[in-house]
Amino acid sequence: MESNGKSFDRNGEPVVYQTGGIVWGGVGTNMQHSFMQLVHQGTKLIPADFIGFSEPLFQDKQHHDILMANFYAQIKALAFGRSKEDVHLNLKMNGELDQLSKLLPYKVFSGSKPSNTFLLQKLTPSSLGMLIAMYEHKVFTQGILWNIYSFDQFGVELGKEIAKKMLKS
C-alpha cells in the first residue's frame, strides 16, 4: 500500500479523485466467506488480485487441486457472475422453483468485477521477491498517474510528533 493515500497533488492542489488502495486478503478457501462475499455483493467496486501457484509448497496434490479449483472459480464468478436465467434453471433443476421470487435477488450476480490473476510456478524466495517488486512498482506508477508524492509520509510524521509529546507529558 505504501503511501498513496493523499489529498493534495504534487502542485499542492486538492485531489478530487480517490487515491491509494487498501491491500488485504487471505489464504485459501477461508477468505471466501469473508472477503470474497464483500467483493461479490458489496456496494463498492473492489478490484481483486489473485495470486496462485501451479505447484504446491508441500506435496499434498489433492489439497492443492481443491484450492486451485476455488482460485479459478472465484475469478470466473467475479468476471461472469450469474444471470436471472441461470438462477431460474438452477432452481428448477433442484426442485426449488417455488423459491424463485424469494431467492432471485440474492443469487443473481452482475459479474464484470475487475481482477488480476498472477499464476506463478511455485512459492520461492525469488517468486516472492518478484511479487514485492511488482507491487512496489505499482505504487510508484499510480503515484505518477495521480500526480502525487507516493513516498512522503507527513501523516505518519504527525502521529509520531504527537506520540513524542504524549510521552513527555
Asked about 160 being catalytic, the answer comes back as: yes
The rounded distance, in Å, linking the Cα atoms of 22 and 5 is 9
Mean pLDDT over each residue of the chain, to the nearest integer: 91
Catalytic, out of 2, 88, 107, 138: 2
pTM, rounded to two decimals: 0.81
- Residue 19: CB atoms within 10 A of its CB come to 19
How many residues can be counted in the chain? 169
Specify the amino acid at residue 69: A
pLDDT tier for residue 155 given thresholds of 50, 70 and 90:
confident
The rounded distance, in Å, linking the Cα atoms of 47 and 25 is 12
The rounded distance, in Å, linking the Cα atoms of 133 and 124 is 14
Asked about 2 being catalytic, the answer comes back as: yes
Q: Where are the alpha helices (DSSP H) in the chain?
A: 35-41, 61-80, 84-93, 100-107, 125-146, 154-168
Q: In this predicted model, what pLDDT tens digit does every residue of 34-71 receive, in sequence order?
A: 788 888 888 989 899 999 999 998 889 999 999 999 99
Mean pLDDT of 129-142: 93
31, pLDDT greater than 80: no
pLDDT tier for residue 1 given thresholds of 50, 70 and 90:
low
* 76 Cβ contact list (under 8 Å, min separation 6): none
More confident residue, 127 or 38: 127
Catalytic, out of 96, 102, 160, 161: 160
SS3 call for 155: helix
Catalytic, out of 13, 33, 164, 168: 33
Asked about 33 being catalytic, the answer comes back as: yes
CA dihedral 3, 4, 6, 8 (to 10 degrees): 110
DSSP 8-state assignment for residue 121: S
Backbone angles phi, psi at 53, to 5 degrees: -130, 135
